[in-house]
Amino acid sequence: MASDVMETKEANAKVYSLSMNQRVLILVVAFLGWMFAGTQMSINGIVHFPAAADLLGEAMADSAGQWAGFFVCAFLFGAAAGGYVFGWVGDRFGRSKAMAISIACYSIFSFLSTLSPNVHIFWALRFITCMGIGGMWPNGMALIQEAWPNTAKPILAGVLGTSANVGIMLFSLWCMYKDVNTDDWHWTLQAGSAPILLAIFTWFFIPESPSWLAEQAGGATSSQGDLSPVTFGEVFSGKNAKLTAIGIVLAFVPLFGGWGVANWANYWAADYDKQNETAKVEIAEADTVELKTKTNLKAEANFHRAWPGSISSLLGGGLAFFLGRRLSYAGLCVLAFICTQFLYGLPDPSHDDFMFWVRGLGFFSGFFFGWLPLCLPEMFDTRIRSTGSGVSFNFGRIIVGVLIILTAFILKEKFEGRYDQVGRICGYMYLIGILAVYLMPKTDEKEPSPSLAE
């Protein structure tokens, strides 16, 4: 019986094979979809602080840093929910359709965010926007791997892993020449709605995964012989529960490193910009020489963190393949930790070494996002690949979000707005990754990890 099912799947896979042009088109669209998701991530580091200050008003402007942290949580919780919901949509109704819906989600609600009357509505709209980001990753990764089954997975992982950093880098470069401040930030979210055209194109012109179509045509059946649709709870039950738990732990550390450690450098720079802008106004009013300010330090920090990450994330899958998953992951944790301690040990963001350590942290943390696309999807069967990898990659964000909420309160109440102290303490979270990586299944680390679900 099992052999008959396998033969049926293989026959169906041949029927649903893709042409080279279709494969290239899938690769390009998935790259662009995750790249534009990267621009939404860049908004977290550049736009949220001035947006919070504007929406709060002058009377509560001192809470802007705290609310900027809450907006990061909107991203993290939204992406986690989107990875679960749209990952299930991808397994149930097809990868390409789910990818189109995900792109449309982050595009439409990015525009609607510009209409927010207060910080609470803005938070809710950013949450929904980021659901689309969370849904893009698992469906894009699953579609690429299934469309290019005979291509080295480290290469595919690197291609998708680097695309978000390319989006972050390009958006940051734009903001270096067009400043984002409390009076002029809405244009960034309007620009973030442009990928709606890509969503429409994806819906109508991107072919479906041949593996998914084969699975639907002759795949998993229940004991009664009927097609058994993927359920929301399946990824947390039975033989898949262990895989999902491992995936969540492995994704948590680099996610916290990005949003709960490195992101404080952006807010530290944004706060420094704002202080110098205030000083400039006061000096001008006193009819004295104006203070030379660096009002785009936040955008520069985001840019110098993103471009090294664009290179390293492209190489992350290859590093895991050649050095082994455990050694590469543990080594990156140590190097990223060292960068955080030197970065947040500086007196202020105007220090000559600030950008050096920002680049170092961006470089070493970027490798993780080529490592994860290689290691997470291959742990799950085709049947639940989008859901499993989506939950693994995105549910770590929930833990990160809770910790950021705590640090946002600590930032104001305990550390009196000292972003450097919070960032330095949070950097110790990287050391947990050294222990976490040994939860991975024991395999030949230089070969693709076989699915434990098989």
> Between helices 119-147 and 385-413, what is the axis angle to 10°?
150
Residue bearing the bigger pLDDT, 354 or 260: 354
| Residue 191 forms part of a structural domain | yes
Is there a contact between 33 and 103 (Cβ–Cβ < 8 Å)? Answer: yes
**Cα–Cα distance for residue pair 106/117, rounded to 1 Å:** 19
The rounded percent of the chain whose pLDDT value lies above 90 is: 28
Q: What digits encode the pLDDT tens for the residues 81-107?
A: 898 899 889 988 999 999 999 999 999
Which stretches of 16-63 are DSSP H helices?
20-46, 48-56
| Residue 130 forms part of a structural domain | yes
Q: What digits encode the pLDDT tens for the residues 208-251?
A: 988 888 877 765 444 444 456 666 677 777 777 877 887 888 88
| Residue 235 forms part of a structural domain | no
| Residue 109 forms part of a structural domain | yes
**Cα–Cα distance for residue pair 168/159, rounded to 1 Å:** 15
Model confidence, pTM: 0.73
| Residue 423 forms part of a structural domain | yes
| Residue 60 forms part of a structural domain | yes
Which domain covers residue 81, as residue numbers? 20-205+241-439
| Residue 4 forms part of a structural domain | no
Q: Which residues pair with 91 in a beta bridge?
A: none
Q: What digits encode the pLDDT tens for the residues 144-177?
A: 888 888 776 677 777 877 888 889 889 988 888 8
Quote the number of domains for the chain. Answer: 1
| Residue 262 forms part of a structural domain | yes
| CATH code of residue 186 | 1.20.1250.20
